[in-house]
Amino acid sequence: MVASIYLTMLAASAVVSLSAPTDCPITVCPMYYQPVCGSDRVTYSNKCELDVAACKIPGLTMANATACGWETAECPRYCLEIYRPVCGSDGKTYSNECELNIAACKNPSLTRARDGPCKLPTPTPKPSCSDACNKMYEPVCGSNWVTYANKCLLEAAQCRNPSILLAATGDCKCNYACMRSYDPICASDKRTYSNWCEFSKAVCKQPELTFRSIGVCKK
């Protein structure tokens, strides 16, 4: 009887170990929002987050390159307005992987050729690259998702790597993508932000900014 119970527990342990791997690597995913829908109908913030979950949930795959519920029965229709260019096998540059996946859904022969734009801007030859910049802190975000203290330092990096472009003004962490929903928020600067996410981005850049009221600011 004891042997039978032991064998049953051993078998159950084997099933658990097979269904829930414990040797998944520790992965730190980037903090950008480009949602994907998993085969479990859960929306993950980006493909990396899905891959982390897939290691722990055998059989989990990406069902769609957009948030769950945003896709049609045939092809996804919506993508966030985030610029992370990828080059398609058709020689066309797509704004992000989601846009490429929409096109690939309609044209199955289309694949991703590489990350980044298909044609990089031809840099103007420079005799040398200088790091002689002032110490003024006016942060800008590069297309490599690195925050530079000012535009001069970004240009110095561009001199060494022409593929780096100016993605946005301000710290990279303050330039995440937001959904296009309209739930207006009135802030202390008497400006109306389209939703809480857009208001939070503004607070990231202007810490002194505070919440005033829900709805459009009244003049």
Q: Give me the chain's average pLDDT, please.
A: 79
pLDDT digits (tens, 9 = 90+) for 172-219: 878 777 778 888 999 999 999 999 888 888 888 888 889 999 999 987
Q: What's the pLDDT score for residue 5?
A: 40
Q: What's the pLDDT score for residue 176?
A: 72
Q: Which residues contact 132 (CB under 8 A, 6 or more apart)?
A: none
Domain locations in the chain as residue ranges? 29-115, 140-174, 185-214
Q: What's the pLDDT score for residue 181?
A: 84
Instruction: Name the residue with tokens 């059989």.
Output: 59
What region, left, alpha or beta, does residue 215 occupy, with left being phi > 0 and alpha being psi -120 to 50 degrees? left
Q: Please say if the pLDDT value at position 49 is more than 80.
A: yes
pLDDT digits (tens, 9 = 90+) for 115-149: 888 886 665 665 578 778 988 889 888 888 788 99
**pTM value surpassing 0.85:** no
In one letter, which amino acid is 194?
S
**Domain formed by 29-115, architecture:** 2-Layer Sandwich (3.30)
- Are the C-beta atoms of residues 90 and 110 closer than 8 Å to each other? yes
**Angle in degrees, CA 106, 111, 116, rounded to 5:** 115
Q: What's the pLDDT score for residue 120?
A: 67
* Residue 188, token pair as written in the block: 């202390």
Task: Give the model's confidence band at 18: pLDDT under 50 very low, under 70 low, under 90 confident, else very high.
Answer: very low
Q: What percent of the chain has pLDDT over 70?
A: 81
HSE of 113 in the Cβ direction (CA atoms, 13 Å)? 14
